[in-house]
Amino acid sequence: MKNPDTFPTVLRELLRTHQAFLSYAASHVQKLNLTLPQFDVIITLGGTSGLPYKTLGEKTLITKGTLTGVINRLEDKGLIQRVASKTDGRSQIIRLTEAGNALFKCAFPEHLTFIGRLFDDYSPEDIATLEADLVRLHKAVSTARGAGETLNDDEYEE
Amino acid sequence: MKNPDTFPTVLRELLRTHQAFLSYAASHVQKLNLTLPQFDVIITLGGTSGLPYKTLGEKTLITKGTLTGVINRLEDKGLIQRVASKTDGRSQIIRLTEAGNALFKCAFPEHLTFIGRLFDDYSPEDIATLEADLVRLHKAVSTARGAGETLNDDEYEE
DNA sequence: TATTGTTATACTCTATAACTATA
DNA sequence: TATAGTTATAGAGTATAACAATA
């Protein structure tokens, strides 16, 4: 795509759609007494046996200074815990507590259902197409950011 | 789409893509010394002769209490101004100043170019498809929110 | 009475930089 | 010297509710 004049519509649509979607998602997360970043941390940790602090920051795009605060609040709520790494004295492993895991197991499917309402009129093919589009866009963004974040699920343990 | 088990991947992808995209967009907006909500207000006002406070809030999804603060900061920067409505004594019309309009005319195309880099590898058909997908998703979100926001550009005046 | 917009409060996120302790 | 994480700071967005002025 070379000519900027041809895509202002896509871009407004991109911004507005992202915004509207996040706003919609946030409205549900709020009912769990979580903020979007907090929820993001929960679902990122969900299904793993814990992730290093740094990895968590990379996946959620939350910078380290901010992440400490988010994690503190989740710790205060009893949803996550810090465990010192055995191999690196500087590193912390962040993992869900029992309560956090329970919340994840309950809240995540609920969230899926809530978001899933958006797709009531979508056929499986429509969804597959949308997903492929998003993956492609995601890759384009990652590349452009230059960060080269891998974002594959290989790092998921457990 | 009835079975929630079939779409966790789409949803993670949706969240992550939105997040990554907004983060990417924000990195550019920051160079203009604007925040994303501030930029949103600018581009929403751009190309209009002003919008009522309330309309502005509906379009940007910023609630009224918050919007006052955002507008104050933009007013401090000399980019927008408040004009009392002639037909409704309670209503304020928000419009770009000369400086705001100049910024819009310069910054918006720049932003388009910046974002456009994401689509270097996209064919015009790819873009059309993506756009259609986004419009559909946007409509789904709007419907689900129940707000029934129209979001058509008919309200643009000038 | 209902609506428009402002004000006030309290909290969260954000970027940034200085700091510590480990490597 | 470099890295992992914390702390400190200042600014900005957020939800919410109470409020003034107007319709």
pLDDT (tens, 9 = 90+) of chain A, 158 residues, equals: 444 444 456 666 777 777 778 888 888 888 889 999 999 999 899 989 999 999 999 998 899 999 999 999 999 999 999 999 999 999 999 999 999 999 999 888 888 888 888 888 888 888 888 888 888 888 888 788 763 333 333 333 33
Q: What is the mean pLDDT of residues B71-94?
A: 96
Which pLDDT value is given to residue B11?
67
In what side-by-side order are the strands of the sheet with A80-84? Answer: A51-52, A92-96, A80-84
> How distant is the Cα of B38 from the closest Cα of chain A, in angstroms?
13
Structure tokens at B154: 């008919």
> Residue A34: left (phi > 0), alpha (psi -120 to 50), or beta?
beta
| pLDDT given at position A9 | 62
Are residues A68 and A144 located together in one domain of the fold?
A: no
Query: Mean pLDDT throughout B52-77?
Result: 95
**C-alpha torsion sign, points B117, A119, A117, A154:** negative
Nearest-CA neighbor of B115 among B31, B30, B47, B21? B21
CB contact under 8 A, A130 and B131: no
Kindly list the residues from chain A whose CB atom is less than 8 angstroms away from the CB atom of residue B11: 111-112, 115-116
Angle at B102 between CA B127 and CA B34, to 5 degrees: 70
pLDDT for B12: 66
| Distance (Å, whole) CA A103 – CA A97 | 10
**Confidence category of residue B64, pLDDT binned at 50, 70, 90:** very high
Same domain, A63 and A88: yes
Cα–Cα distance for residue pair B72/A60, rounded to 1 Å: 31
For residue B150, how many other CB atoms are within 10 A of its CB? 11
Q: What pLDDT is recorded for position B91?
A: 96
In the prediction, which pLDDT does B97 show?
Answer: 97
Q: What is the predicted pLDDT for the residue at B153?
A: 34
Residue B1 lies in a domain: no
Choose among A66, A71, A25, A34: nearest CA to A50: A71
Q: Where are the beta strands (DSSP E) in A9-114?
A: 51-52, 80-84, 92-96
Task: Place B18 in a pLDDT band, splitting at 50, 70 and 90.
Answer: confident
The bridge status of strand A92-96 relative to strand B51-52 is: unpaired
A111 and A134 assigned to the same domain: no
In this prediction, residue B16 carries a pLDDT of 74
Q: At what angle do helices A36-45 and A53-60 cross, to 10 degrees?
A: 120
**What mean pLDDT is reported for chain B?**
82
Footprint of strand C on the protein (CB under 7 A): A 35, 37-38, 62-66, 69-70, 73, 88-90; B 26, 52-54, 57, 64-65, 67-69, 71-72, 82, 85, 88, 90-92
**B120 exposed, middle or buried (CB, 10 Å; 0-12, 13-18, 19+)?**
exposed
**Residue B92 structure tokens:** 């304020």
A59-63, B91-95, B143-147, range with greatest mean pLDDT: B91-95
Shared domain check, B116 and B58: yes
**Is residue B9 very low, low, confident or very high in pLDDT (cuts 50, 70, 90)?**
low
pLDDT exceeds 70 at position B115:
yes
Domain count along chain B: 2
Q: Do B130 and A129 touch (CB under 8 A)?
A: no
Q: How far, in Å, CA of A82 to CA of A72, rounded?
A: 10
Look at residue B147 and tell me whether its pLDDT is greater than 60: no
User: What is the per-residue pLDDT for A103?
Assistant: 93
Query: In this structure, are B77 and B97 located in the same domain?
Result: yes
- What pLDDT was estimated at residue A97? 97
Query: Do A148 and A92 lie in a common domain?
Result: no
Chain CA centroid to CA A155, Å: 14
Please check whether residues A136 and A113 belong to one and the same domain. no
User: What is the distance of C-alpha B145 from the center of its chain?
Assistant: 17
B76 and B31 share a domain? yes
B140 and B130 in a common domain: yes
Answer yes or no: do B17 and A134 touch at CB < 8 A.
yes
Judged by a CB distance cut-off of 8 A, whether residue A102 touches chain B is no
A60 within domain boundaries: yes
- At B74, list the tokens: 């933009």
CB contact under 8 A, B4 and A109: yes
pLDDT at B104: 92
User: Angle CA(A3)–CA(A4)–CA(A8) in degrees, nearest 5?
Assistant: 135
Q: Assess whether B47 and B72 both reside in one domain.
A: yes
Structural domain range at position B142? 122-158
Residue A7 within any structural domain of the chain: no
